[in-house]
Structure 1
Amino acid sequence: MKKKSSVVIAGGGSTYTPEIILMLLDNLDKLPLRKIKLYDNDEERQNKLAKACEIIVKEKDPSIEFLATTDPELAYTDVDFCLAHIRVGQLPMREMDEKISLKHGVVGQETCGPGGIAYGMRSIGGVLENIEYMEKYSPNCWMLNYSNPAAIVAEACRRLKPNSRVINICDMPIGMENTMAEILGVASRKELDVRYFGLNHFGWWTSVKDKEGNELLPKLLEHQLKYGNCMTDGGGNFTDDSWQETARKVKDIVAVDPTLVPNSYLKYYLFPDYVVEHSDPNYTRANQVMDTREKRVFGECARIEKAGTAVGTCLEIGIHASFIVDLATALAFNTHERMLLIVQNNGAIENFDPEAMVEIPCIVGKDGYEPLSIGKIPTFQKGLMEEQVAVEKLTVDAWQEGSYHKLWQALTLSKTVPSATVAKAILDDMIEANKGYWPELK
């Protein structure tokens, strides 16, 4: 009989929490659970979800203990896994990140460019705080951290918590692989053997094979050059029009280098002028999420709480949640599953910074992960990655040192920002907006 695990979801007030719980409950055969806890420092927001989540858990398996708390000791005591997806400043600060950037004619996006840098400066302290709680109350716990911006957070963890049981992950490649499987006529992304290298939200697939070992990359590239990461009829596995537009833009990213399949987020770095031109500076992605996803999830949770049952709920399992279950299962039961993780390079990419936090395939077992060797990467991708790694390292430098100049340099070096003059104007506005969230910069 498999050992049952105890899980805490840090960032319990996130609208993604119900779908993570649904995924955990759908996989109790793989990862049996004895406790599910929610932890958030915003009690009011977490309470909008907590009762509905408790009802969902009790209807699925009454033996699982459920707790929602703002007390870190209660949250982190007797825990095997922390699933961390915190958002310091919540969506109102994301809105500020996006709109300040667009005000200066620069990409306004959650994890890319100035928005990602601003978000990273807020996130580092919150993630480190949760790691310290975990190590104090459950030192053998694993933190599966998918708090954004994952690249900057991962660099901070490497530098400031080098011996912690933290694995940094991202679901973005998983979402793309689901669509790639659909394009290729394969039943599931798990039927594909992939090779991938890059940074978080900044990478490329070098091989996509089926289980018989047939290389499908040329077929996929041929399709993407015509249709992007959409089906021939324009459809695909997308939650809304903005994601579909991002998938369509893949055809232009592929055209720059038609030998590798790119992560769709590269549009923000290779075509920032296009992105700005097609953005509304008065109504950004944060506004869209607040007006759609937040209202839908909080509304449905209120309905479940009032009804006292989750029967007939419209809440669904999220694609990113399946990745988390697979990773926790690999750690708990030594499955040696191959997964994309954000890890220190240490020579895995032969001709790249050994200290850089790269996103590459790893084999995962009870002792953690073992990165796979990538070899040498092409000059074009290497050059892009070196610039972006420098941005991420300078951002963590700025957080550690309280350095205005290091953050100005990070913004100046970002491929999304046209000049040091624009970078300084954005930085000065960002400092004003982030009072109370960032360290004081001098």
Structure 2
Amino acid sequence: MKKQSIVIAGGGSTYTPGIVMMLLDNLDKLPIKTLKLYDNDAERQEILAKALKIVLDEQAPEIEFSYTTDPKVAFEGVDFCMAHIRTGQYRMRELDEKIPLKFGLVGQETCGPGGIAYGMRSIGDMIELIDYMEKYAPNAWMLNYSNPAAIVAEACRVLRPEAKVINMCDMPVGTLRRMSQIIGKTPDELTVRYFGLNHFGWWTSVKDQEGHEYLPEIRDYVAENGYLTQIEVDTQHMDQSWQETHKKAKDLLAVNPRYLPNTYLKYYLYPDYVVEHSNPEYTRANEVMAGREKRVFDAARKIIETGKCGEGDFHIDNHALFIVDLARAIAFNTGERMLLIVPNNGAISNFRQDAMVEVPCIVGTDGPEPLCQGDIPTFERGMMEQQVAVEKLIVEAWVEKSYQKMWQALTLSKTVPSAKVAKDVLDALIEVNTEYWPELK
């Protein structure tokens, strides 16, 4: 197998060590020649990079490792860019969550006003990354899992429609892991059917390799327990706020018992509940900064200080295994079946063709080929039409620098009760995002 050259864009992310550890654990599936980190925050990236250099010297000294803030150095010669950027870092995420809560609205990083604010910040940087890749590595693929994935994917479709970019999300992977625990299987034994938008979808089938359908059994369990399981191996989604989210899935199922819901639907179906159970002084951003952020950077400093990687300093990010599978499918034409965010183009028969939908795809050298999910019911279709219109208005607002369209996007969001509240929260978000958003007129 040909050894691959990879750049991780967002090298200073707390997810980077877990992804690198996962790559090292899967060198038999995806051999690596060179691995680079790229970030525009040199100081933050350097801490993780120095620690990872020690890890690589111990575990895979044959891999050429480097880190840089120079896009030419970062992208030249790579086969893949694995992108997970966060424009504005956690400082802005905290505002995304706390400002909407002041108006009695959902404060969440990818859903509602906070997700819209984050999306507006992300578009420009994502397009810049794509342009760097196309300039310095025109044959490379970008595997993008930067949030908010739905808005980023729509921006890529509109602004760089020919770019070799695949947008994806790890949330369905994490939920499938929980489903597999419920029925005593492993995720790789199961094949799913699924439709929706990113963070906004439903499983319609969960079968094993013999064709046995487990959806009714899982549905009965979720109706009682949500996605909470006795076996907890999901290190990414173990914090208290995530445990509450997994539990809330039983109420999502009550509204629509036909299919198994994506947990993020709670922000759209129960926004009042979410606000009531939110602490406006201590949100998910604070939880992450006190938890994963501290753990990862403390581990990095310990590795640098001791000059060696101790047991458990950096943990393998099992969620990120799907990135290896995706890269391998493209590099070696394996025909992997994966849930990806792609232009609809008939995958959902009775839904708008220019929507970026999340559906199962077969992946090979030419990228993803969506599998047709047929017609979808009125309830799900109605919710999706509303949400995809929000996402399209956001991208139009960014392109046209349109205050009006941003106001319309927020007004149309199911998490916002009125046009007045939409305008009030928009004005508050504009005030803190002047450094990142285009000037709206």
Please indicate, yes or no, whether the TM-score normalized by the shorter chain is above 0.5. Answer: yes
How far 1:320 sits from its partner (Å)? 2.5
1:68 counterpart residue number: 67
In 2, the alpha carbon distance for the partners of 1:290 and 1:229 equals: 25
2:88 counterpart residue number: 89
In 2, the alpha carbon distance for the partners of 1:328 and 1:337 equals: 10
1:348 to 2:339 alignment = no
How far 1:321 sits from its partner (Å)? 1.1
2:8 counterpart residue number: 9
Residues 152-207 of structure 1: CA deviation (Å, up to 9, x unaligned): 00000001100000000000000000000001111x11111100000000000000
2:206 counterpart residue number: 208
1:222 aligned partner, one-letter code: D
1:377 to 2:413 alignment = no
How far 1:313 sits from its partner (Å)? 3.2
Residues 305-325 of structure 1: CA deviation (Å, up to 9, x unaligned): 111111323321113310100
SS of equivalent to 1:198: strand
| TM-score (ref. length: structure 2) | 0.98
In 1, the alpha carbon distance for the partners of 2:355 and 2:211 equals: 31
Contact 1:236/1:244 (<8 A) preserved? no
Contact 2:300/2:313 (<8 A) preserved? no
2:386 aligned partner, one-letter code: E
Post-superposition, which runs of at least 4 consecutive aligned residues in structure 1 deviate over 3 A?
A: 233-238
1:298 counterpart residue number: 297
Deviates more, 1:262-271 or 1:222-231: 222-231
In 1, the alpha carbon distance for the partners of 2:277 and 2:183 equals: 30
In 2, the alpha carbon distance for the partners of 1:89 and 1:320 equals: 24
- Residues 36-435 of structure 1 aligned to structure 2 (within 5 Å): 36-186=35-185, 188-231=186-229, 237=234, 238-435=237-434
Unaligned segments of structure 2, at least 5 residues: none
SS of equivalent to 1:211: coil
Residues 121-143 of structure 1: CA deviation (Å, up to 9, x unaligned): 00000000000000000000000
1:20 counterpart residue number: 19
| TM-score (ref. length: structure 1) | 0.98
SS of equivalent to 1:221: helix
How far 1:235 sits from its partner (Å)? 6.1
SS of equivalent to 2:363: strand
SS of equivalent to 2:338: strand
Unaligned segments of structure 1, at least 5 residues: none
In 2, the alpha carbon distance for the partners of 1:369 and 1:285 equals: 33
Residues 87-127 of structure 1: CA deviation (Å, up to 9, x unaligned): 00000000011110000000000000001100000000000
In 1, the alpha carbon distance for the partners of 2:312 and 2:64 equals: 22
2:207 aligned partner, one-letter code: K
Residues 375-421 of structure 1: CA deviation (Å, up to 9, x unaligned): 10000000000000000000000000000010000000000001101
Contact 2:303/2:313 (<8 A) preserved? no
How far 1:48 sits from its partner (Å)? 1.7
Count of residues paired in the alignment: 439
Residues 362-382 of structure 1: CA deviation (Å, up to 9, x unaligned): 000011111101110000000
SS of equivalent to 2:163: coil
1:76 aligned partner, one-letter code: F
